[in-house]
Amino acid sequence: MLSLRGFWNRHKRKVFVALGVFGSGYVIYKLYDAHRRRISDLEKQMEGERQVNEFIRAQLQTHFENIQRISDTTTLPYAMHYLRSRIAEELDLSHLTEKLMQGKGQSNAITSKEKLELWETLKVLSFTRTASSLWSMTMLCLYVRVQVNILGRHLYLEAARGSESSQPLDESDSFSRHGQQDFLATADYLSAHGINMLIVNMQKAATEVLKEKQLRDPFSMVQLHETIMQILELFMNIGGQNYWINYLIPENEIAYRQLMVTSTNGFVDSSIPMDVGKLEQLMSEARMVLSSIRFIKAITIWWRFQRFSLREPYARF
Provide the percentage of residues in the chain whose pLDDT is more than 90. 21
CA 8/CA 278 separation, integer angstroms = 85
Q: What pLDDT score was predicted for residue 308?
A: 55
DSSP symbols for 218-253: ---HHHHHHHHHHHHHHHHTTTSTTTTHHHHS-S-H
Cβ within 8 Å of residue 196, ≥6 positions away: 90
pLDDT tens digit sequence for 185-234: 888 899 988 999 999 999 999 999 998 887 777 778 888 888 988 999 89
Structural contact between residues 137 and 80, judged by C-beta atoms closer than 8 angstroms? yes
pLDDT tens digit sequence for 238-261: 988 889 999 999 887 777 777 766
Does the model's pTM come out above 0.85? no
pLDDT tens digit sequence for 107-143: 666 788 888 888 899 999 999 999 999 999 989 988 9
Q: What is the 3-state secondary structure (H, E, C) of 188-225?
A: HHHHHHHHHHHHHHHHHHHHHHHCCCCCCCCCCHHHHH
Q: Which residues of 208-242 are buried (b: 16+ CB within 10 A; e: fewer)?
A: ebbeeeeeeeeeeeeeebbbbbbbbebbbebeeee
